[in-house]
Amino acid sequence: MRTMPPSHPFDDDKLKEECGVFGAVGVTDAASFIALGLHALQHRGQEAGGIVTYDPEANFQSARRFGYVRDNFTSQKVMETLPGSIGIGHVRYSTAGSKGTTAIRDVQPFFGEFAMGGAAIAHNGNITNADSLRRELIERGSIFQSSSDSECIIHLMARSLQRNIPERMKDALRRVEGAFSVVAMTRTKLIGVRDPRGVRPLVLGKIGEKGYVLSSETCALDIIGAEFVREIEPGEMVVISDDGKLTSSKPFEQQASRFCIFEHVYFSRPDSILEGRSVYETRRQIGVELAKEAPVEADLVCPVPDSGTPAAIGFAHESGIPYGMGIIRNQYMGRTFIEPSEQIRNMGVRLKLNVNRALIRDKRIILVDDSVVRGTTSRKIKDMLLDAGAAEVHFRIASPPTMWPCFYGVDTPDRDKLLAAQMTVEEMRQHLDVDSLQFISLDGLYRAAGVAEGRNNAKPQYCDACFSGEYPVAPTDMLAKGFELKPAAE
């Protein structure tokens, strides 16, 4: 049965990472490592997952399924079909336009058979010129199997005249604009590549004598006991053969790094290490900066669990105001209502979050959340707190106002659905009907991420386009569809 993870009203009020990738080579039973790695990366995409492996006797094998990794890649029946010591895997969240309509053919990894042998790829990110590439490729005879932008890479590889797969990948990726962290495999090689700006993460780990793994995040190394080696650098390609030999190259024109700052705020797991920094510590530090920038008299600092928790701890520490779990999250709700009825849907946020009445009654509450997207959830949470007897509600948000859509692999509503694109902060405060509302500044966020001097406005050190409207890579396809960039003088 197709077990689709639930879609609930409050899920629509968060930005969503669209993919996680994982690959392994030089290990016995690569598929088991990949399944565990994908399980640890499940927060990056819950709609579907896939694994491809290679074994000299069984050739390339694949399994692609809708739903959670734990439901699909734990049964012996499935795992026995994926033999081999090399493989790659992918978890995905559907893009805004395809939600609920994704076909199994859109589920990665994608596979192509070339003259020199087969290759599979799994892509995290988004190709911003995919429409024009697709048109060109179709005109020249390519037959697409899916609606995914990532499939362009396979077709571009097919058209390359290079004699081996890594060189064909370089040719293909030089034509691609946007954000990509790709893991790929041939019969004997595991390949990892990051786009020249390194927008999305990709790390290298070592396991056993000759084994290597590539993963979107370090938390997936921990689950299999792999040792973190280093991050794949922006614009770097590593090729690891099944005898443990690793080669590195820089096939693209060099660009300044523009890593996604929202990975620090929200997407990555707090137990991951990004750019040498603990994600948890960065989030805690965001709370410290917020408390300095936006202090308010109150009795209790509460997180919106789970993603607001480290920032709330930092806020409480810096402000000296006690920290408390004023809102409790029901961890098992998603499993209970796989296909909720209309009546249950209408309960909305209450399905997932409940107020700890005894703690918040008659108190002035500082509520720390990671972001405000549409604002629908924030309003409901405020109502729940007031219904339960809170005296005041002050929102503190651990990211700047989200005013622009992301075109680099994160599911964002259109601008007209982003509350901060439609209202000033004071208008948002009135709309949410809270006693005060403050967002961390971009500089404060940069400082929390370890950039002591704050944002360099002439050359920003991160991608922060969803806050600033300054896109490090022109969103070619969206511009062709009429998307308007922020005027230079704004």
Residues with a known catalytic role: 19
Confirm if 48 and 109 have CB atoms less than 8 A apart: no
Q: Which residues contact 31 (CB under 8 A, 6 or more apart)?
A: 51, 53, 73, 79, 82, 83, 84, 87
Instruction: Specify the residue, 139 or 416, whose C-beta has the smaller distance to ligand SF4.
Output: 416
414 assigned binding-site residue: no
- State the minimum distance, in angstroms, from the CB of residue 262 to ligand SF4: 4
149-160 b/e with 16+ CB inside 10 Å = b? bbbbbbbbbbeb
Instruction: Specify the residue, 301 or 466, whose C-beta has the smaller distance to ligand SF4.
Output: 466
369 assigned binding-site residue: yes
Instruction: Specify the residue, 259 or 323, whose C-beta has the smaller distance to ligand SF4.
Output: 259
Query: Rounded to the nearest 5°, which phi and psi values hold at 290?
Result: -60, -40
C-alpha separations of 132 from 138, 139, 324, 482 in Å: 10, 11, 51, 15
Instruction: Specify the residue, 69 or 465, whose C-beta has the smaller distance to ligand SF4.
Output: 465
Nearest to 386 by CA among 376, 394, 375: 394
SS3 132: helix
**Distance (Å, rounded) from C-alpha 255 to C-alpha 238?**
18
- State the minimum distance, in angstroms, from the CB of residue 54 to ligand SF4: 32
- State the minimum distance, in angstroms, from the CB of residue 261 to ligand SF4: 5
370 assigned binding-site residue: yes
29 assigned binding-site residue: no
152 assigned binding-site residue: no
Confirm if 197 and 255 have CB atoms less than 8 A apart: yes
Render 332-397 in DSSP notation, one character per residue: THHHH-SS--HHHHTTGGGGTEEE-HHHHTT-EEEEEES--SSSHHHHHHHHHHHHTT-SEEEEEE
- State the minimum distance, in angstroms, from the CB of residue 17 to ligand SF4: 9
Nearest to 367 by CA among 346, 381, 353: 381
Partners of 61 in beta bridges: 53
466 assigned binding-site residue: yes
148 assigned binding-site residue: no
Confirm if 408 and 200 have CB atoms less than 8 A apart: yes
Instruction: Specify the residue, 17 or 318, whose C-beta has the smaller distance to ligand SF4.
Output: 17
Instruction: Specify the residue, 50 or 201, whose C-beta has the smaller distance to ligand SF4.
Output: 201
CB atoms within 10 A of CB 309: 22
Confirm if 91 and 46 have CB atoms less than 8 A apart: yes
Residues at the contact surface with ligand SF4, assessed by CB under 6 A: 199, 260-262, 406, 408, 410, 463-466
- State the minimum distance, in angstroms, from the CB of residue 146 to ligand SF4: 23
Please state the residue numbers annotated as binding site for [4Fe-4S] cluster: 260, 406, 463, 466
Please state the residue numbers annotated as binding site: 260, 307, 369-370, 406, 463, 466
Please state the residue numbers annotated as binding site for Mg(2+): 307, 369-370
